Amino acid sequence: MDDLKQLSAEEIVALIKAGKVRNKELTDAEICPTCFNKENNGVLFGDDTDKTFYEDDKFTCFLVGNPRAEGHAAISTKKHFKDMMEIDDKTCEEIFVLAKKAMNVIREVYKSESVYLCTMCDGPMNHFHLQLIPRFSFEERGSDNFVKPRQDYKEDKEKIKLLREKMK
């Protein structure tokens, strides 16, 4: 799929719908999967409105669709930045203040002992985001928490409601 960048958005959408292209191929072709998804009605990741618990003009906080723990969330900039090394200082400041708030709220709502933060946007193209991963009392402390196995997303409407209320 070296020629992906030569195709129109419509042609790429058709390939995604046919299961021939995933986010990895877009990244390799230097097309941002997050922005492509947003510009094309959630064709890659689906509609995540039900998982979103905070939004303003610059940032979105949402529960991830393949979590490593209950309450695993991500904070993403609305504007495209490839990775953290590319963001301006003001955005850097704002996203970390927001992350601090979200981490406290997640710890409270999910009753975890701690919440870990990481960012590792990599590859020819990516979209800057922070990941917040709860660590529960029954789990050991340490970096293994960053690579806990992915789970199926289970919707908990009550917890999402609480997250939204506390993030206001």
Structure tokens at 111: 């009753």
Chain contacts with Zn ion (rule: CB under 5 A): 32, 34-35, 80, 127
For residues 157 and 162, give the distance between their C-alpha atoms in angstroms, rounded to a whole number.
9
For residues 14 and 59, give the distance between their C-alpha atoms in angstroms, rounded to a whole number.
29
Query: Which residue's CB is nearer to Zn ion, number 86 or number 113?
Result: 86
Q: What is the dihedral of CA 75, 23, 67, 92, to 10 degrees?
A: -20
Query: Which residue's CB is nearer to Zn ion, number 31 or number 105?
Result: 31
The minimum distance between CB 63 and Zn ion, in angstroms, equals 20
Query: Which residue's CB is nearer to Zn ion, number 38 or number 135?
Result: 38
The minimum distance between CB 161 and Zn ion, in angstroms, equals 29
Q: Pairing between strand 59-63 and 52-55? A: antiparallel
The minimum distance between CB 60 and Zn ion, in angstroms, equals 12
Query: Which residue's CB is nearer to Zn ion, number 35 or number 84?
Result: 35
The minimum distance between CB 37 and Zn ion, in angstroms, equals 9
For residues 107 and 134, give the distance between their C-alpha atoms in angstroms, rounded to a whole number.
7
